[in-house]
Structure 1
Amino acid sequence: MRDFLPADKARRERVLAVIRERYRAHGFDEIETPVVEEYARLHAGIGGDNEKLAFNILKRGLDAEAVRAAAGDPSALTDLGLRYDLTVPLARFYATHRAELPTVFRAIQIAPVWRAERPQKGRYRQFVQCDIDIIGDASARAEAELVVATLDAVDALGLEGGSVRINDRRALDWMLERFGFSADERPGVLITIDKLDKIGPEGIVAELRDRGTGADAVDAFEAFLRRPVTLEHHPFGERQIRTALPEGAPDEIVAHLVGIGEAVAASRSERDVPLVFDPFLVRGMGYYTGTIFELAHPSVSYSLGGGGRYDGMIGRFLGQDVPAVGFSIGFERIVELVSTADEGAAEAIVLVHDRDVPMHELVALKAQFVAEGSRVRLEQRTKNLKPLLERAASDGYTAFATVPAGATRDSLEIKRLS
């Protein structure tokens, strides 16, 4: 968990403002949910490994006897927890307010979440997620809207060239069944396949054999990984998808993916469709039921966001299934790639005054600049002015003026800060 100095905070807010503006332009509306949710909801078996990383909140009024009676069972000691993502809270929000929401609801959530991670570079215990979700639309249009809005936000941040890797959990399940993996084996196999980028095909096959997974299924999977593949480039579409999957892929799944590609292509005019089908994209969250995707950018080797369809989650809270799909930008990763320039910012000026300037003159002078739309800071002159001005520049100020007693707005000489 981190503190942010003024310059860092200002940069983060500028990036967030761009993301919010682009999401709203695409018809999404922002909501807010509490930072805590019920323990049972956060540990309902739908959050994958993130459930193990949840920060739980002890019940109020616990005494030593209650702790002993719990016998190491955390669920007996806690009734609330900090949210580890924004999807579980959204599902609860929709189930609670469905009667007040449109049939197809497009939500923005931009807020901090908490996970008990091992702190390291790029991985924090408190971080901001930027989510957009569409609830109530089972068609490929929903995924296409999310992809287009996300790429638009990334482009607006000056990160043109982004692309989206896309797959379908149903295609993964079909493929593993085709190879011969049993239903009980498939969750563990998916965990291993998710490491493909890190350990390569040989490492995947070796790990599957070490796990004691069915030998015939592993042999079939290995043969598929080693099959000869032509290097010709296919644009995103049915041919690319069927080429990447074993023969006989279900038409329904392929058609859904193709529909997403066609809709995204229609929004890109003559630009290339930034979609890449990846048959081994897994994503670890246990609630995904269909399409899954990750945001990639050529400047970095890791993903900048991701999401997918989670049609079964809301039904757990509502009692009936409602289609839902979401896309989350990894804000902490993307903010490091964005230029700090703020071209549309108002003039920011430091008024450096002598000790003997009357307070009422300073406040009146500051008010004049503020009324003109400027951002203003008052600073008393120091013996060495350089450190004061350097600090002001690092805080985003662009100009300064020295203010003697009796100065007026028109008498000031405004100088630029380098």
Structure 2
Amino acid sequence: MAQNVTPPRGMRDFLPAEKARREHALGVIRGVYAAHGFDEIETPVMEDSSRLHAGLGGDNEKLAFAVMKRGLTGDDLAAAAASGDALALADLGLRYDLTVPLARFYATNRAALPPVFRSIQIAPVWRAERPQKGRYRQFVQCDIDVIGDATPLAELELLTATVATLDALGLAGCTIRINDRRILAGILASWGVPDDLRERALITIDKLDKIGTGGVAAELVETGAVAADVDVATALEGLATADWHLADGVVPPPAWLDGAAYAELLALRDAMPDAAIEFDPTLVRGMGYYTGTIFEIAHPEFGYSLGGGGRYDHMIGRFLGQEVPACGFSIGFERIVDLLEIRRDDRPRAVVLVHDADVPADRLLAVKGELVASGARVRLERRVKNLRALLDRVTADGFEEFATVTAATTDAASLEFRTLGA
């Protein structure tokens, strides 16, 4: 009986052409981030369970994969399970994002880092998601963060680097939506949401694009966050359609609007006049650690965000014992990589050398070596009876030219290259 040889649910294998596209995209992202002054770091794939479940990761904490303690016997397992304490069974867990590990990294290595630290983290993370289109249990995150700068310059550096990265990837038509948690707090206060239910209410509002204004209103009433006579649906519709150029005097500002926070958002937009930046007072971002500015990448062809982030000034203080300002932005790599095509100019010349069986190996390697030295990517393929099938296969693998090597071939200059797929 054949064994199941597929990857675990929510995890994937990548064939060579797909892996090449992913690595090309990652190279572009790394290059732009580095050009904007960010430095790449690396953190372990596992963190202490107590750190991953410290109330910093919102609902993602529920999706963390636990790593069982070493050396537990049957009796130990039974006792730990009976206790109901998850930490009795597992003391480590796979990271579910890169922000919590970054906060721990900074607290550990602060003495060796500059006063304002600009980091790059590009690495896989794991969440026990229910696998579906666009949602995986293992996926790559591409994060940049600025730690130690409490001024809007941190947000501007992140936004500038992100816009430049999207441009370099060829993703046209993207818009960056911005908001501030202080503005959301004002909206919730105007609806009478109690302080102890505000995080729960924000999680509900974050579902706006999935369940609509009516669904959000009904859930807020059901959870007791708002009274039944508060017309949340109408309020949300008004928030989404209002003209928000308040600084221009188009409409009077509502009483709940945090003027200082809104002025900062306007300043961000005005500092980047060539970028498509829009204020959206319904933008939430689900992570509970955000404290101020939040942002998200939107594209008119997709009903989901292509990345996002925000300011999280209180997280590092949980590890360090003193507050350190921090702000970050993450590109949704898995969501954008399938939208990208590698331009011909971005790839090395890719050629296949089809050779007869009687060509000496040293001559084959010498000809191949000449082409590799010139910057080409070269594959050797022995001639087969069904040459068309072979050429179709290497074309699918991304090769674009082929030449035949015979016993009479002396060097690469004597080869006649033909275009594949022509």
- TM over 0.5: same fold? yes
Q: 1:54 aligns with which of 52, 55, 64?
A: 64
1:91 and 2:103 matched: yes
Q: Report the equivalent of 2:272.
A: 264
Distance 1:285 1:227, change over 3 A: closer
CA contact (8 A) 1:234 1:240 kept: no
Q: 1:291 aligns with which of 290, 293, 297?
A: 293
1:238 and 2:229 matched: no
CA contact (8 A) 1:30 1:109 kept: yes
Residue segments in structure 1 that go unaligned for 5+ positions in a row? none
CA contact (8 A) 2:299 2:306 kept: yes
The amino acid of 1:27's aligned partner reads: G
> Residues of 1 paired with 2:389 and 2:238: CA distance?
64
The amino acid of 2:359's aligned partner reads: V
After superposition, residues 75-114 of structure 1 pair within 5 angstroms as: 75-114=87-126
Distance 1:227 1:115, change over 3 A: closer
Q: CA deviation at 1:222?
A: 4.9
1:219 and 2:222 matched: no
CA contact (8 A) 1:144 1:261 kept: no
> Residues of 1 paired with 2:249 and 2:51: CA distance?
40
The amino acid of 1:219's aligned partner reads: V
> Residues of 2 paired with 1:30 and 1:239: CA distance?
41
Residue deviations 1:306-363, cap 9 Å, x none?
Answer: 1111100000111101000100000000111112334232211111111111111111
Residue deviations 1:344-385, cap 9 Å, x none?
Answer: 322111111111111111111111111111111111111011
CA contact (8 A) 1:140 1:257 kept: no
Q: 2:357 aligns with which of 338, 341, 355?
A: 355
Q: 1:131 aligns with which of 133, 136, 143?
A: 143
1:394 and 2:418 matched: no
Distance 1:125 1:240, change over 3 A: farther
Q: 2:15 aligns with which of 2, 5, 8?
A: 5
Q: CA deviation at 1:116?
A: 0.6
SS of the residue 1:185 aligns to: helix
> Residues of 2 paired with 1:95 and 1:227: CA distance?
43
> Residues of 2 paired with 1:230 and 1:75: CA distance?
47
Q: CA deviation at 1:155?
A: 1.1
Q: TM-score, normalised by structure 2?
A: 0.92
Q: Report the equivalent of 1:115.
A: 127
Q: Percent identity?
A: 60
> Residues of 2 paired with 1:26 and 1:226: CA distance?
38
Q: Report the equivalent of 2:3.
A: none
> Residues of 1 paired with 2:186 and 2:241: CA distance?
23
> Residues of 2 paired with 1:228 and 1:303: CA distance?
19
Q: How many residues are aligned here?
A: 408
Q: CA deviation at 1:238?
A: 3.3
> Residues of 1 paired with 2:297 and 2:171: CA distance?
12
1:376 and 2:378 matched: yes
Q: TM-score, normalised by structure 1?
A: 0.92
Distance 1:279 1:229, change over 3 A: closer
Distance 1:222 1:376, change over 3 A: closer
Distance 1:369 1:135, change over 3 A: same
The amino acid of 2:259's aligned partner reads: D
After superposition, residues 266-285 of structure 1 pair within 5 angstroms as: 268=274, 273-285=275-287
SS of the residue 1:215 aligns to: coil
CA contact (8 A) 2:316 2:324 kept: yes
Q: Report the equivalent of 2:4.
A: none
> Residues of 2 paired with 1:190 and 1:344: CA distance?
43
CA contact (8 A) 2:47 2:95 kept: yes
> Residues of 1 paired with 2:270 and 2:408: CA distance?
68
After superposition, residues 179-218 of structure 1 pair within 5 angstroms as: 179-215=191-227
Q: CA deviation at 1:299?
A: 2.3
Residue segments in structure 2 that go unaligned for 5+ positions in a row? 1-10
1:171 and 2:173 matched: no
The amino acid of 1:238's aligned partner reads: A
CA contact (8 A) 2:239 2:282 kept: no
SS of the residue 1:10 aligns to: helix
